[in-house]
Amino acid sequence: MRERHINAILLGGLLATALAAWGLDQPFTITLATKVAILALAGVGLNITLGLGGMISLGHAAFFGIGGYAMGILASHAQNYTPLMEAPLLIEGTNSMPVIWLVAIAASALAALVIGALSLRTTGAYFIMVTLAFGQMLYYFAISWPAYGGEDGLSIYVRNGFPGLNTLDPIQFFGLCFVLLCLVLLFVARLGRAPFGLALTAARQVPARVEAVGLSPYRLQLVAFVLSGAITGLAGALFADLNRFVSPAMFSWQTSGEIMVFVILGGVARLCGPVAGAALFILLEHWLGALSEFWHIYLGALLLIVVLFARGGLIGQIAGREAAHD
């Protein structure tokens, strides 16, 4: 089966699940589908660094959390009618989703620029450890900074609004997240074929040649890291809106690990790998979680099997290895 067909089936399946649940009046299933779409979006972000760029970032929870807190901070100020800042200029909170998304994207892109600029001075195992450490730094910062709830996190009572939609209606919020996911997928698909994406792929495979033609691998990788962080940040803002709650847990190393698991379960460097991975993860959480309180043992065992024996993830198993990026 061609990867293109699998992608269509995956996205179509997700949409059909949500619509069927809407028709059958099962809001919980719609919420699960929304969660899949949002977590997939976070994975799509990570996949730019991991799949296209070949950089193993174990710190993407940093951007997921920053996106979440961008939403939490803006919405909590709007909710309490207190300005975010008075001098030198007045900045008020907001509960408009588009504004929150822009702030989440900008803030996580900025963080990715700083973290990426430092981390990309290293490669290989160092890069993994450094990104993991910076993620942990933000986790401890979120815990020790009391202004926005500290360890307890922040609750937002009403979901933020989007012009013309009722975001409290599960199917409408799902639609919003699904459209964003599709737009970002479209962007990433084009990015992979654009000169930038090709140069980035080359920088992963043979950095020396990229340098020989006058491109800087460091810059290519940094731009990719920033794009990736921004997308994961957007997913973080949506995730916070889904739960109407943010907490330092969004910054934890487990979150970084889980986002990576979505990408791997689905298939690294596959466009819709994160969609497949996130869907599988949520289904496993739902089914195995009902079977046993200790479902992470089974998840761990499954992950071991995928890594040791079924390389290429779900999409790799169906589409065959030759269609992957390398």
Partner 1 sequence: MSTLLLIEQVLNGLQLGVMLFLMAAGLTLIFGVMGLINLAHGSLYMVGAFAAAAVAAATGSFLLALAASLAAAAAAGAVIELGVIRRLYDRDHLDQVLATFALILVFSEGTRWIFGSFPLFLEVPDYLSGPVTLFGGIQYPLYRLVIILAGLGIAAGLFLLIGRTRIGIQIRAGEADREMIAALGIDITRLYTLVFALGAALAGLAGALVGAIQSVQVGMGEPVLILAFVVIVIGGIGSVKGALVGALLVGLTDTLGRSFLPGLFGLIMEPAAATTVGSALASMAIYILMAGVLLFRPRGLFGVA
Establish if 287 lies at the interface with partner 1 (CB under 8 A): no
Which residues on neighbouring strands pair with residue 162, listed in sequence order?
Answer: 165
6, 318 Cβ separation under 8 angstroms: yes
Considering only residues 250 to 269 of the shown chain, the ones binding partner 1 according to CB under 8 A are 253, 257, 260-261, 264, 268
Task: Return left, alpha or beta for 103; rule: phi > 0 is left, psi -120 to 50 is alpha, else beta.
Answer: alpha
Nearer to partner 1, 95 or 136 (CB): 136
Torsion angle in degrees (nearest 10) through CA of 24, 29, 34, 35: 180
68-91 burial, b if ≥16 CB within 10 A, otherwise e? bbbbbbbbbbbbeeeeeeeeeeee
Q: How far apart are CA 249 and CA 210, in angstroms?
A: 39
Q: Which pair of tokens denotes residue 2?
A: 């061609």
Establish if 216 lies at the interface with partner 1 (CB under 8 A): no
Among 89, 90, 125, 208, binds partner 1 (CB under 8 A): 125
Establish if 304 lies at the interface with partner 1 (CB under 8 A): yes
Q: Which residues fall within 8 angstroms of residue 225, CB to CB, at 6 or more apart? A: 49, 53, 55, 57, 112, 115, 116, 119, 120
Establish if 189 lies at the interface with partner 1 (CB under 8 A): no
Nearer to partner 1, 60 or 159 (CB): 60
Taking CB under 8 A as the binding criterion, the range among 129-137, 198-206, 222-230, 275-283 that sits at the site for partner 1 is 129-137
- Smallest separation, CB 154 to partner 1 (Å): 17
Considering only residues 133 to 172 of the shown chain, the ones binding partner 1 according to CB under 8 A are 133-134, 136-137, 140-141, 143-147
What stretch of H or E contains 6?
Answer: helix 3-23
- Smallest separation, CB 14 to partner 1 (Å): 24
Among 99, 110, 113, 128, binds partner 1 (CB under 8 A): 128
- Smallest separation, CB 161 to partner 1 (Å): 32
Give residue 184's Cα distance to chain centre: 11
**Residues of this chain that bind partner 1 (CB under 8 A):** 50, 56, 58, 118-119, 121-122, 124-126, 128-130, 132-134, 136-137, 140-141, 143-147, 253, 257, 260-261, 264, 268, 294-297, 299-301, 303-304, 306-308, 311
